[in-house]
Amino acid sequence: MRTSSDVHNYLEERGVPHEMLPMPDRSASAERAAQLLGVRLGEIVKSMVFMVDGVPELVLVPGDARVAAQSLAGATGARKVALARAQEVLAATGYRVGAVPPCGLASALPVVADPRVFDPPVVYCGGGAAATMLKIRSADLRTVVDPLVADVAER
């Protein structure tokens, strides 16, 4: 299984400025992470794995939104999308649900990001462990993950 060190090393190797923030407690939800960090919920980025026509894809949405499956299907041209099960997430990313980072995954996955993810100048993402968060400039995040940007979030 991968750890927050893998996320850090991935970004270091690419020269991307970032901080790995140890949390005083588990931050398995966006609400809890925002509370612990003292930031707005919209500054948190949720990294979620969906099975898109049976293939895992990483979907990024702001912490104050959820993925609209119908919008994701439309953006990707898929017939069927479903939230990945815990074992599928671990197999596809190398990380457990609640700790999935947007980069440094076990294998490269296609990434779809809602455009609001990039609105705040700095965002906080899963850091590879339930008690670690990744702080990164949103412009750097966009460059690193090179996503398909599409309206896939609903509030």
pLDDT at 28: 67
Q: Is the pTM of this model over 0.85?
A: yes
Closest residue by Cα to residue 77 from 109, 110, 115, 103: 110
Q: Angle at CA 138, nearest 5°, toward 69 and 11?
A: 100
Domain that holds residue 120: 4-154
pLDDT at 26: 75
Interval 105-117 mean pLDDT: 97
Average pLDDT over residues 14-32: 90
Q: Report the distance separating Cα 24 and Cα 42, nearest Å.
A: 21
Q: What is the CATH number of the domain that holds 108?
A: 3.90.960.10
Give residue-wise pLDDT tens across range 32-72. Answer: 999 999 999 999 999 999 999 999 999 999 999 999 999 99
Angle 15-42-106 from CA coordinates, rounded to 5°: 45
- What phi and psi, each to the nearest 5 degrees, are found at residue 38? 70, 40
The whole-angstrom separation of Cα 51 and Cα 137 is 28
Domain count, the chain: 1
Q: What is the pLDDT of residue 155?
A: 80
Mean pLDDT of the chain: 96
User: Cα angle vertex 75, ends 58, 69, to 5°?
Assistant: 65
